[in-house]
A and B are shown apart, each in its own frame.
Chain A
Amino acid sequence: MSDELEKLFKEMAQSIIDGDSDISVELAKKSIEMGVPPLDAITKGFVVGVNYIGDQFGAGEAFLPELVMAGEAMKAAVATLEPELIKLGEAREIMGRVVLATVEGDIHEIGKTLVGTMLSASGFEVVDLGVDQPADKIIGKALEINADLIGMSALLTTTMVRQREVIEELDKEGLRPRIKVMVGGAPITRDWATKIKADGTSEDAVGAVQLAKQLVGKE
């Protein structure tokens, strides 16, 4: 690897660690001008930064905002490289596609967003629908993007039942086990997940990533 290239990859990683979208986008553009294969830019440059922050976060050294900003800087860089990837007919290897939402009637957002951030940072492609999402929207989006996984958050005892409704609907339409379902949120227990025939649950975002990897067979 040329010194120049090595320096570029290092800067790319650093831009993610610094959570600086402006710089990560600039570096992505520069790599295209330099003729660097976009997949290399991602895997040898940006991903190194994401992994570093992910490890630091796991070790309790990095704080949540650093993780979120790293995720955003990564997203921005990948979006810049995407047209190039498509031109070359290359696809970035992703862990899996996930549709994430807080269920209908429920506006608790933070936990779901965190799970989304961690999944993105770990190589999943995440479509976060937001809060208060009815079953048909969630399932519709899953079909649209050919999702491997649906993740549902519910923090109220009155809205947990919506998780079951989505699962029943998926079953009715014969979409499982093709689409796996994970559930989470303050009142969600392992018992509840088993009872509604979800494929798994986790009490935090780090566990959600492990679970997701397991469910797509990429542990």
Chain B
Amino acid sequence: MSHKNIKTISNPKLKLEILTKEDVQKIHDATLQIIENVGVRFPSKRALEIWEANGADVDHEKRIVRVKPQVIEEALKKCPPAYTLAARDPQQDLPLDGNHVCLGTDGCGVEVIDIETKEKRTSCLQDVRDIARVADATEEVAFHWVPVSAQDTPAETRGLHEVKAVWENSTKHVQTESIYSVHEAQAAMEMAVILAGGKAEVRKRPVLSLMQCTAPPLGHDGGSLDAALIAAEHGIPTGFMTMASCLTTGPATMAGTLAVGNAEVIAATALLQLAYPGAPVFYAAAQTASDPRSGAYTGGGPEDFLFGAATNVLADFYNIPLSMGSFATGAKEPNWQAGLEGSLSTFMASVVMSDMLLGVGFLHGSRIWSYAEMMMDCEIFSIIHKMMQGIVVDEETLALDAIAAVGPGGHFLAQKHTRNHMRDLFLPQFLDRRPYTEWETKKDDARDWALNKARKILKEHQPDPLDERISKEFDKIIKSVEKS
């Protein structure tokens, strides 16, 4: 399947075995034991009612639910294993079928390195528009998260202004992680219905999807649960993301943290299936290890990379798509650390074929947006995309005729075979392969080239505009929420 201006990883040639079948079964059993005996907190009236109706043991005061393994397992069987994330342009629809790795932008940043002045400042609505436009033109980006917060819009409708801004500036799929209240979720559904052209249409072609954070350890946010239930009701794909981190919100050991996060995610996923059987759902995770000296969320390091690969094995076990946190470096500027953390986390999450990867563009632990970082993250993805194609071994690629023609000594530069295949080789945009003296006189590097690329796109790229009538409808919906 090919998509317009979207590059996804598919038909992988590399493999990694990170957990054995027995390991996964042990984690699953531990998870069920946690849900049955320790319980998970569901601070939402609606959620508690659903649990109660399905025979769970509900502690209303503490809002903790304990559920028998069969209930969870039966509910999870109703999850659809594959579905499509629809885009405004149908040629950019994304299949979540286990054979595509789709990359998104990261989301909810609070500051932006200004594309012109290079100064750090508070994020605003115009940034959401600009970043969406740059992402629209960038083939590595398959779908959007709301990249930064539109802090110049009212807090109670911010999430709506943001999705509207992305839809107006790109034809690719929009996933939002910043809608976590009933009133915003309802309004967002209305917007999606209008964009898709009807309630039945949005079920078939969900142009929006939602990601909700769990509240580790073993809890949820009430607003997030209610928003997720509303989405599930409308057939809008919804995922719960655990960020349980070794040492703080999870045990210091990785297996234990996987079990804690898994309990949060599968319990909430089961809840959606109990309420709306067959609703499209996905597993989401951005687990890591907290820094032992400060408790800081690291977004990098060997544990982070291992989690990146391990979680997909769990999602596969439940046969649902996975959205995996990769990139999101703790580095303060695009540098060695950013490259290292971006590469290894993305490689590990890709090699196991995570369906969605989040995402490009951030520094300082998912807080500061940088266009240069975005472009360089995209190049990392492209390199991994190329690596995942592996090495093709056949008559043509063994090139025996060319080898015979050149013989010992000489070179392959004048061979037809070479010309036929030279463009199979990866051509980097931002790797410095110049002579030393050229670098010495210019003293520029990847960061400058990446920033220039983003500047050029922002100047030149005009996405297919959204029908003005739809924009006006969106405004009306947002206004009515602001009034109430």
Name A's B-contacting residues (CB within 8 A): 57, 60, 63-65, 105, 107, 110-111, 114, 157-159, 161, 186-187, 204-205
Contacts and interface: CB of A to CB of B under 8 A. Distances in A.
B386 interface: no
Interface in B74-113: 110-111
A157 B290 CA distance: 23
B294 A64 contact: yes
A67 B382 CA distance: 43
A88 B155 CA distance: 53
Contacts, number: 43
Contacts of A57: 293
Interface string B272-310: 000000000000000000111111000000000000000
Among A64, A65, A186, A204, max chain B CB count under 10 A is at A64
A157 B110 contact: yes
Interface in B380-407: none
Interface in B171-226: 215, 221, 223
Contact of B295 (A64, A107, A157, A186): A64
B446 interface: no
A65 B294 CA distance: 10
Interface in B51-84: none
A107 B215 contact: yes
Contacts of A186: 110, 367
A13 to B, nearest CB: 22
Interface residues of chain A: helix, strand, loop or mixed (majority): loop
Contacts of B223: 105
A187 B221 contact: no
Given A65-B292, A110-B290, A187-B367, 11 more contacts: A60-B293, A64-B248, A64-B290, A64-B295, A110-B248, A158-B149, A158-B155, A161-B155, A187-B110, A187-B111, A205-B294
A57 B291 CA distance: 13
A60 B291 CA distance: 11
B221 A65 contact: no
A110 to B, nearest CB: 5
A186 B158 CA distance: 18
A24 to B, nearest CB: 23
B247 A64 contact: yes
Given A107-B215, A110-B248, A186-B367, A63 B110 contact: no
Nearest to B296: A204
Contact of A63 (B111, B249, B292): B292
B11 interface: no
Contact of A107 (B111, B155, B221): B221
A64 B215 contact: no
B25 interface: no
Nearest to B367: A186
A204 B294 contact: yes
A121 to B, nearest CB: 14
Nearest to A61: B293
B151 interface: yes
Contacts of B249: 110
19 contacts: A64-B247, A64-B290, A64-B291, A64-B293, A64-B295, A65-B247, A65-B252, A107-B221, A110-B290, A110-B295, A157-B110, A157-B149, A157-B155, A158-B149, A161-B155, A187-B111, A187-B367, A205-B294, A205-B295
A162 to B, nearest CB: 10
